[in-house]
Structure 1
Amino acid sequence: MPSTDDPRPSLPEWITDAYTVLSDRIRDSDRGESVDRVPAIRREHAVDVLRTTDELELDPGDADYAITRLLERGYFYEVDGELRITLPAEDP
């Protein structure tokens, strides 16, 4: 879940829960991958993940809405149909 000092606008808790589920899945899928590969998840797979996780009960429309809101608010960005985690800038 984003921290309280996160510069991104806040979202409803169920959408930040969706962010946690997807970002964990993206990070977990990156383990053992090539160094050149950017951690990502296909948007269609992300919808499936949100629909089948035990942590949330979302229908396809709600899952897609959550992903859209996370993209609009800068939590993820999309490249060629893949969602990637947008990390807040680190303080120097």
Structure 2
Amino acid sequence: MARVTDPRPPLPEWVLECYDRLCTQACRPDHGEDSVPLSDYDDATDMLAADAELALEQRDVEHALTRLLERGYFYEVEDELRVTSPEGQC
């Protein structure tokens, strides 16, 4: 997540909207309270590409996920995307 002293510009609103959608999907009630919210990378790309409200092309989805990973909103373990700071998202 971008810190206050981060010289990089903030992420675009549409990328943050992708993050919110993925967090909502990852924070399922069937996971235990101590589990880290996660999503399979392929499932995440499919879900974002299929979201009619976002209306993103495949390249846009891949760009959003790359930016979110680079900024630390998610981290990747094998093919899973895990939420870095789940306490504020679930």
Q: Tell me, what secondary structure is at the counterpart of 1:11?
A: coil
Q: Does the C-alpha gap of structure 1 residues 89 and 23 become closer, same or farther in structure 2, counting only changes over 3 Å?
A: closer
Name whichever of 59-68 and 80-89 sits farther off. 80-89
| Structure 2: runs of 5+ lacking an equivalent | none
Instruction: Supply the distance in 1 between the matched residues of 2:43 and 2:86 (Cα, whole angstroms).
Output: 24
Q: Does the C-alpha gap of structure 1 residues 45 and 89 become closer, same or farther in structure 2, counting only changes over 3 Å?
A: closer
1:22 and 2:22 aligned: yes
Q: Percent identity?
A: 40
2:66 corresponding residue in structure 1: 68
Partner AA of 1:78 in structure 2:
E
| Structure 1: runs of 5+ lacking an equivalent | none
Q: Tell me, what secondary structure is at the counterpart of 2:63?
A: helix
Deviation of the 1:35 alpha carbon: 5.8
1:83 corresponding residue in structure 2: 81
Q: Does the C-alpha gap of structure 1 residues 7 and 88 become closer, same or farther in structure 2, counting only changes over 3 Å?
A: farther
**What is the TM-score with the length of structure 1 in the denominator?**
0.76
Aligned residues: 84
Deviation of the 1:7 alpha carbon: 2.2
1:57 corresponding residue in structure 2: 55
Q: Tell me, what secondary structure is at the counterpart of 2:76?
A: strand
- Alpha carbon RMSD of aligned pairs, Å? 2.6
Instruction: Supply the distance in 2 between the matched residues of 1:44 and 1:52 (Cα, whole angstroms).
Output: 12
CA deviations 1:15-68 (Å, max 9, x no partner) are 0111111111111xx312356753211111100110112330111111011000
